[in-house]
């Protein structure tokens, strides 16, 4: 009670049926505190009072799934705090909580969440998967080994052939479009990937590291997967030419590679009309991330990313390597198709 000369905690006697009794209390205002697991409930009461009924808020479940920066499942350890105090129970009363995701002791994600019912969230973390780097290194190593074994009969065409295959194979491992924005202490990056197809946004701010996996139309995922399949198929056609020396394979590979680049450019241009207005540019965009306060307005720039340019360079290498084959193929078509 605030009227006590020396504040002290008064204990109640329980009858074992959810009822507690205080006896011998002087009249006056009191603060009733009841703790249930990690939740502390406080209620002001006035004595004399015969019976005071206290109703605890309902407790809800909170399911958390961690994802890496590609939107794929990421093993992590989850800790939950409320007002700086750890929460260890699996069911939570309504309120605001701070969720932290860790991996090997490193914080890879954190955000606030309001629990008002049974809740399931996806925490996109700052952790990158290993397969893009591992795949890139493997392709570079394979290209280096191939060039080493044919070093005695190395020609510019063969170097360009190996470069084209390597660049095309590496391109689906990296983002094909990106947006980078900032406002004050907030930084946000969005990337469009082909393997797996999707768009992932990650933001950082004081007390926040998280993001979201965009819920895009099914046609977008089909486009991304198809483009990845086309560039890999083009690289496969070049490998077939390496083995069988069929002169019609390089022009076909070029056509497939060009189709992949054009298909992505057209598809992403349509998507960009909704996201940013165009495929390439700068300006102010509004991006809302779950658990991040603010209006979401950012000064941003967006453009095709590394994977796209790797595919373009691979296509250019293919043109330079097989210029003669392509010219001969076009001449053959002109002779047989007068209007070509």
CA distances from 313 to 106, 163, 174, 308, 309 (A): 37, 9, 14, 9, 6
Number of Cα atoms under 13 Å in the Cβ half of residue 46: 0
pLDDT at 2: 66
Peptide bond into 266 cis (omega under 30): no
* In contact, 30 and 52? CB cutoff 8 Å: no
Average pLDDT on 312-329 reads 81
pLDDT tier for residue 128 given thresholds of 50, 70 and 90:
very high
- Greater confidence (322 vs 225) lies with 225
pLDDT at 200: 96
Place of tokens 């006896």: 23
Q: What percent of the chain has pLDDT over 70?
A: 89
pLDDT tier for residue 222 given thresholds of 50, 70 and 90:
very high
* In contact, 53 and 19? CB cutoff 8 Å: no
* In contact, 167 and 310? CB cutoff 8 Å: yes
Strands 177-183 and 119-124: unpaired
pLDDT tier for residue 4 given thresholds of 50, 70 and 90:
low
pLDDT at 244: 85
pLDDT tier for residue 180 given thresholds of 50, 70 and 90:
very high
Q: What are phi and psi of 272, to 5 degrees?
A: -65, -25
Average pLDDT on 105-114 reads 92
* In contact, 231 and 223? CB cutoff 8 Å: no
Number of Cα atoms under 13 Å in the Cβ half of residue 288: 2
* pTM, full prediction: 0.79
pLDDT at 91: 79
pLDDT at 276: 85
Mean pLDDT of the chain: 87
Domains and CATH numbers, the chain: 1-56 (no CATH), 60-124 (2.60.40.1120), 131-336 (1.20.140)
Asked whether the predicted pLDDT for residue 339 surpasses 60, the reply is no
pLDDT at 328: 66
Average pLDDT on 136-157 reads 90
Asked whether the predicted pLDDT for residue 50 surpasses 70, the reply is no
Q: What gap in Å lies between CA 70 and CA 65, rounded to an integer?
A: 14
Question: Left if phi > 0, otherwise alpha if psi is -120 to 50, otherwise beta: which for 57?
Answer: beta
pLDDT at 47: 79
Q: What gap in Å lies between CA 117 and CA 290, rounded to an integer?
A: 16
Strands 60-67 and 119-124: parallel
Q: Report which of 194, 70, 176 is spatially closest to residue 130, judged by C-alpha positions.
A: 70
Q: What is the pLDDT of residues 226-239, one digit of tens each?
A: 999 999 999 999 99
pLDDT at 68: 94
Asked whether the predicted pLDDT for residue 37 surpasses 60, the reply is no
Q: What gap in Å lies between CA 272 and CA 240, rounded to an integer?
A: 36
Q: Give the per-residue SS3 of 203-225.
A: EEECCEEEEEECCCCHHHHHHHH
Q: What is the pLDDT of residues 69-104, one digit of tens each?
A: 999 999 999 999 988 889 877 778 888 899 999 998
Least confident of 28-37, 114-123, 190-199, 322-331: 322-331
pLDDT at 154: 82
Q: Give the per-residue SS3 of the chain.
A: CCCCCCCCCCCCEECCCCCEECCCCCCEEEEEEEEECCEEEEEEEEECCCCCCCCCCCCEEEEEEEECCCCCECCCEEEEEECCEEECCCEECCEEEEEEEEECCEEEEEEEEEECCCEEEEEECCCCCCHHHHHHHHHHHHHHHHHHHCHHHCCHHHHHHHHHHHHHHHHHHCCCEEEEEEECCEEEEEEEEECCEEEEEEEEECCEEEEEECCCCHHHHHHHHHHHHHHHHHHHHHHHHHHHCCCCHHHHHHHHHHHHHHHHHHHHHHHHHHHCCCCCEEEEEECCCCCCCCCCEEEEEEEECHHHHHHHHHHHHHHHHCHHHHHHHHHHHHHHCCCC
pLDDT at 312: 97
């Amino acid at each position: 009670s605030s009227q006590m000369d020396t504040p002290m905690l008064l204990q109640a006697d329980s009858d074992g049926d959810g009822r507690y009794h205080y006896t011998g209390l002087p009249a006056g205002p009191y603060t009733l505190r009841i703790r249930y697991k990690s939740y502390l409930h406080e209620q002001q009461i006035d004595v004399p009072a015969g019976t005071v009924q206290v109703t605890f808020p309902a407790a809800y479940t909170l399911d958390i799934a961690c994802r890496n920066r590609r939107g794929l499942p990421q093993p992590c350890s989850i800790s939950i705090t409320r007002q700086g105090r750890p929460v260890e129970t699996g069911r939570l009363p309504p309120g605001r909580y701070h969720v932290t995701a860790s991996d090997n002791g490193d914080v890879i994600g954190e955000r606030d969440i309001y629990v008002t019912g049974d809740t399931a969230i996806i925490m996109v973390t700052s952790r990158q998967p290993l397969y893009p780097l591992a795949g890139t290194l493997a392709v570079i190593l394979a290209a280096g080994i191939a060039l080493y074994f044919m070093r005695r009969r190395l020609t510019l065409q063969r170097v360009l052939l190996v470069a084209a295959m390597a660049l095309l194979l590496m391109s689906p491992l990296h983002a094909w479009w990106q947006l980078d924005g900032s406002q004050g202490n907030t930084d946000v990056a969005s990337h469009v990937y082909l393997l797996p197809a999707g768009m992932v946004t990650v933001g950082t701010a004081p007390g926040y590291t998280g993001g979201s996996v965009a819920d895009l139309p099914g046609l977008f995922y089909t486009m991304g997967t198809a483009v990845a399949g086309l560039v890999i198929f083009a690289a496969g056609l070049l490998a077939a030419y390496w083995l069988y020396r069929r002169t019609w394979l390089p022009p076909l590979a070029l056509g497939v590679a060009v189709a992949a680049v054009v298909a992505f450019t057209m598809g992403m241009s349509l998507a960009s009309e909704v996201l940013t207005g165009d495929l390439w540019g700068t300006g102010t965009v509004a991006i809302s991330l779950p658990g991040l306060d603010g209006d979401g307005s950012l000064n941003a720039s967006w453009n095709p990313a590394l994977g796209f340019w790797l595919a373009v360079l691979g296509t250019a290498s293919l043109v330079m390597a097989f210029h003669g084959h392509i010219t001969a193929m076009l001449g053959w078509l002109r002779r047989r198709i007068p209007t070509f």
